[in-house]
Chains A and B, each alone.
Chain A
Amino acid sequence: MGIGCFAWAAYGIWAQSDAQLDAAAGVSVPSVEPSPSPVPATPEPALYPEHPAKGDKIGSLEIPVLRRTLPVIEGTGAKELARGVGHYAGSVLPGEDDNCVLSGHRDTVFRQLFKVKIGDPLVVKTSAGTFTYEVKRTRIVHADDKTVIVPADHAVLTLTTCYPFNYIGSAPDRYIVSADLMMSD
């Protein structure tokens, strides 16, 4: 039975992190520019025609320094986080002028998030385009910190995961990566 538990857990960690790659590869294809013509230069056109439903795959997050591309799922419930990086529904969508929050499991998709350093690029691809962010800050906050998910006056990408990364049980802290939008295509 012990072997079983070990095997299941080990497989879970391995399989999930690997499955992301396939899923991501699948999603990044349709997200390439729906149709470039009907985008008039009106002031601040909506990037997204409507807000996605919980569980929708909204795009992908590429972390070049980790050589990983992860699917981004709308919502941060257990179900969504099991499928990839979750988009916190109370935050704006990637590329929009405000704080976009993406969360992922510390032991699967964001297991190596600590390797992301200031200045590293983060690339989010969605139906609205490709958004390249640059990491400006990493920090560790308590799980109930209220200064992470806050509005911003410009396009910000915030990645969150639990901390410490290898903590047994419910981790008391959160690891935060903040990035500013540099480029959108």
Chain B
Amino acid sequence: MKRVLAGLLVLAVVLSTGALAGCGANNTTSKGSEEKVTLKVYNWGDYIGEDVIKKFEEKYNINVVYDTFSDNEVMHTKLKSGGGDYDVAIPSDYMIKRMIDEGMVKKLNFENIPNYKYIDDSFKNLGFDPKNEYSVPYMWGTVGIIYNKTMVTDKVDSWNILWNDKYKKQVFMLDSQRDSIGITLKKLGYSLNTKKMEELENAKEELIKQKELGVVQSYVGDEVKDKMIMGEAAFAVVWSGDAVFMKRENPDLEYVIPKEGSNLWFDSMVVLNNTQHQKEAELFINFMCETDIAFENADYIGYSTPHTEAKKQMSPDLLSDIAAYPTKEQIKNCEVFEDLADSIRDYDRIWTEISAK
């Protein structure tokens, strides 16, 4: 008797949650046409102008649910495991390639995105989306070294400076296996997309050496911004847009792209495959490419815009800042990340070995 009752109860709970979930789904699909549509957007944290979402909601009478992530892998895992039913996401290059390969994104109807014409041609048809069918560029940038001019006398133009034992506990590395191993590969003159075990082993030795020299203070994430502004260390490996922000807060800081080359990256907008609102999603992407909006975004977050008209409105100071807009010459050795497929396991192994030392 007891078991039967318990069984019934479980059944009741399962059914009711199922029914609830069903209702939820219905709300967003069938009612959509009569009532306000809800668009779910998934973007990096702190990566959009402050009023942009509000302006979009008012202009088109669409509700926006806006969520953020802290790295590409977290986003991928969440979408892959069926979480969130988002309509629009803004991942980076290699992740877009993986998502295209896995069939997670939809082909765009560019007739609904006329503002695409403002995107600089050099940002179209990039390696991760060669025919440019799936993505619209949002921001781009580089990875480089930010350093405090008051604490460094040497010339900073190479990754080697991060291995100089004169600077004990003065370096913040990125707590991201792909980036930290990537810049080490560049330092050694390899490609940062290498899958060759020998080259990866060399990079591992190099990173272990760096750790044993005692120059690394720690491997950090977003907190690096506060730390560098407060002068907690002389060097940090950072993304270019963060460098623009840090330089604004502390004028002693300077950003360089090392001569050996670095990572050049693009974050682009995509529409996810299970969307029920492709038209609204494309409307959103088009809105993000309006000149005023693109300017507002780029001005607020400090990253570099691929939008030709918005770029013209930028202040001359920013346009001449290599952190924001490096010249072709400065990025000639830079590479874009490619999806590593199964080699990410080798990278993780190496990273474990480094951090287990």
A interacts with B:
no
Chain A residues close to B by CB (< 8 Å):
none
